[in-house]
Amino acid sequence: MHTRRAPLRAKKKSAAAHVPELIFGDLWEFDPAPETADPRLRDQYDLFIGGTFVPPRSGRYFETVNPATEKVIASVALAGPDDVDAAFAAAQKAFEGPWRKMPGKERGKYIYRIARLIQERAREFAVVETMDGGKPIKESRDFDVPMAAAHFFYHAGWADKIEYALPGCRVEPLGPVGQVIPWNFPLLMLAWKIAPALAMGNTIVLKPAETTPLTALKLGELLREAELPHGVVNFVTGAGDTGAAVMGHPAAKKIAFTGSTEVGKIIMRQTAGTDKKMTMELGGKAANIVFDDAPIDQAVEGVVNGIFFNQGHVCCAGSRLLVQESIAELFVEKLKRRIDVLRVGNPLDKNTDVGAINSRMQLEKIEELVESGVAQGATIYQPSCRLPGRGFFYRPTIFTAVTQSHRIACEEIFGPVLSVLTFRTLEEAVEKANNTAFGLSAGVWTDKGSRILKMSTLLKAGVVWANTFNKFDPSSPFGGYKESGFGREGGRHGLLDYAKVV
């Protein structure tokens, strides 16, 4: 399955030979530089309901695996409908009890506490995130965990200022909310979901992804340290059935989901005809558009970051490169040189650029789509880097000669696979970029300010990065157009999605 060792490459030798090849990657070995902080993990985790860890009613547990080693890390409780009921009962009780009545400034202090506790134990959380999900330690250490803390810190400050969130109106919390998050940024997505909901005064039942439940459960421990009132936040672990129970629960006044468009539609059907408010943060197929006047080396870095960050497990990943025809050949050569020196391997190694694919299932999905790309006639390039003998790994992959009808240009691959298309005019770039059912993000690379603003206006996407990519901030609203979902997370806009106007 995932044991393919030989890189897939097209036979044809490129004409753009003037790009010097960086060969030092082959000249010497890097010494291993593993992160060794103690993850402080337990062998078994129960459900976090009503402020304590309780075993599942069914008595069933499932195992969570380190995708880089395929070894079991811990066993985790499988929540059934009874457990989800109990979690919502706890959330309802907490909402009617202490949480709704608490003045905003006091509520905010709890959220500040959570931010601080995450910062204090940041390294430990980063290690667990990397072990459980496969992402490089430098990303979990420098991005996921600090950004999660930042989200709590930012939203904590809103708790006593919510009257400014919607000028001219009075807003109130909704009540218990149900949230389901994905496996690509487990702790960060949790923070995106929980922090604004708490700031507005809601209570929460959240289900982490089944392959990455550990940082949520560790956060449960941390919430106990923060002495958050019992039942304000509840974590139920499990797979799709548990998620469906959370999304469909009658007590959930609002549901928020981050995941695939396919599952988002299932949830919308499941809850059709109910009064539940919804936020949907779904898939994407972002275009990263490079004009011929762009600063090329910066753009190459941006494109590489856009698709290979977190192994491409990013809903807003720049998975389609649209490059202007006049520079396409040079640009692609530079891209190939750049990915030749990406270090793929042990996620806990501080030098690793591309870590492990999150699960065997995801790896198989990536392989299937890449095979379709080859079969449909696109030209594949993969570097010859060595992959570890165990675990789920995939080479950074670039497809050229891609047409808009290829599956690799339409479907979300959610892996380290870039499809390169070209364009001649701005209008053509816009048309190709918007020619998708998704609309989450887009990138524009050009030296011309007026062109950036024009592109930003014309692109049907919720986030546009100009001369940068994959930037996030708690104060910056994030969310999609079209089938990438609705509602925003971050900033005043995200906060309002957890409020009702009265």
Binding site for other proteins (CB under 8 A): 150, 166-169, 261, 264-265, 268-269, 271-273, 280, 282, 437, 452, 456-457, 461-468, 471, 473, 475-479, 481-486, 488, 491-493, 501
Shortest gap between Cβ of 478 and other proteins (angstroms)?
A: 7
Q: How far apart are CA 278 and CA 264, in angstroms?
A: 10
Rounded to a whole number of angstroms, the minimum distance from the CB of residue 223 to other proteins is: 25
Query: What Rg, from alpha-carbon coordinates, does the chain have?
Result: 23
CA distance 414 to 394: 12
- For residues 475 and 490, the answer to whether their CB atoms sit within 8 Å is yes
Residue 490 corresponds to which tokens in the numbers above? 């971050």
Q: Which of 498, 501, 502 is nearest to 252 (CA)?
A: 498
Q: Is 168 exposed, middle or buried (0-12, 13-18, 19+ CB in 10 A)?
A: exposed
Whose Cβ is closer to other proteins: residue 34's or residue 157's? Answer: 157
Nearest-approach distance from CB 43 to other proteins, in angstroms:
38
Q: Which residues contact 164 (CB under 8 A, 6 or more apart)?
A: none
Nearer to other proteins, 59 or 273 (CB): 273
Q: Which is nearer to other proteins, 218 or 482 (CB)?
A: 482
**SS3 sequence of 345-406:** CCCCECCCCECCCCCHHHHHHHHHHHHHHHHCCCEEECCCCCCCCCCCCCCCEEEECCCCCC
Which is closer to other proteins, CB of 58 or CB of 456? 456
Helix (H) or strand (E) holding 132: helix 122-133
Q: Nearer Cβ to other proteins, position 144 or 483? A: 483
Residue with tokens 């391997």: 345
The question of whether 281 is a catalytic residue gets the answer: yes
Residue closer to other proteins, measured from CB, 184 or 271 = 271
Minimum distance between the CB of residue 74 and other proteins, rounded to whole angstroms?
33
Which residue among 124, 281, 412, 489 is the active-site one? 281
CB of 115 to other proteins, least distance (A): 13
Cβ atoms of residues 281 and 487 within 8 Å = yes
- What are the tokens at 413? 């691959």
DSSP 280: E
DSSP bridge pairs for 172? 500
Shortest distance in whole angstroms from residue 311 CB to other proteins: 23
Residue 88: count of CB within 10 angstroms of its CB: 26
104 vs 146 by CB, closer to other proteins: 146
- Determine how many CB atoms are found less than 10 A away from the CB of residue 85: 18
User: Min. distance of Cβ 323 from other proteins in angstroms?
Assistant: 20
For other proteins, which is the closer residue by CB, 103 or 157? 157
Single-letter amino acid, residue 219: L
Structure-block tokens of residue 309 = 């960050």
φ, ψ at 96 (rounded to 5°): -75, -25
Catalytic residue among 35, 139, 210, 315: 315
The structure tokens listed for 20 are: 């010097």
- Catalytic positions: 281, 315
